[in-house]
Amino acid sequence: MSKIKLLLEVVNDMRSLADSIQAICDVMTDGDFASKEEPATKAEVVKEPDIPLEKVRMVLAEKSQLGFTAEVRGLIQKYGADKLSAVDKAYYADILKDAEGLGNG
């Protein structure tokens, strides 16, 4: 794994940790320690981290360098854009998942 990928993973992990700490602080300051409501499930507490455009760009660039330029272009078009920066960031996780499949099938 490249150093850039490792650094991006560390950044994402740190963002996730910061979100978790913020959630704990919010609960503590609201005084909801003795709440009689059902505790939130793990899926409700953990939200999907924001994926930066740079990470998506890096993954797609690697796939393009491996000879999948047409497929990368097709992925971007699949999500309704002609260039990566025009793709809605809500689709970044889907694009990364689709990109993983390039060359594996």
6 and 55 share one domain: no
Structural domain harbouring 56: 51-105
Q: What does the alpha-carbon distance between residue 57 and residue 6 come to, in Å, rounded to a whole number?
A: 15
CB 56 within 8 A of CB 100: no
Question: Do 72 and 100 fall within a single domain?
Answer: yes
Whether residues 58 and 99 share a domain: the answer is yes
DSSP character string of 12-67: HHHHHHHHHHHHHHHHHHHTGGG--SPPPPHHHHSPPPPPPHHHHHHHHHHHIIII
Last residue of a domain, one of 25, 49, 73: 49
38 lies in the same domain as 86 = no
Q: What is the pTM of this model?
A: 0.53
What does the pLDDT profile of the chain (105 residues) look like in tens digits?
688 888 888 888 888 777 777 777 677 776 555 444 555 555 554 455 688 999 999 999 999 999 999 999 999 999 999 999 899 999 999 999 999 988 775
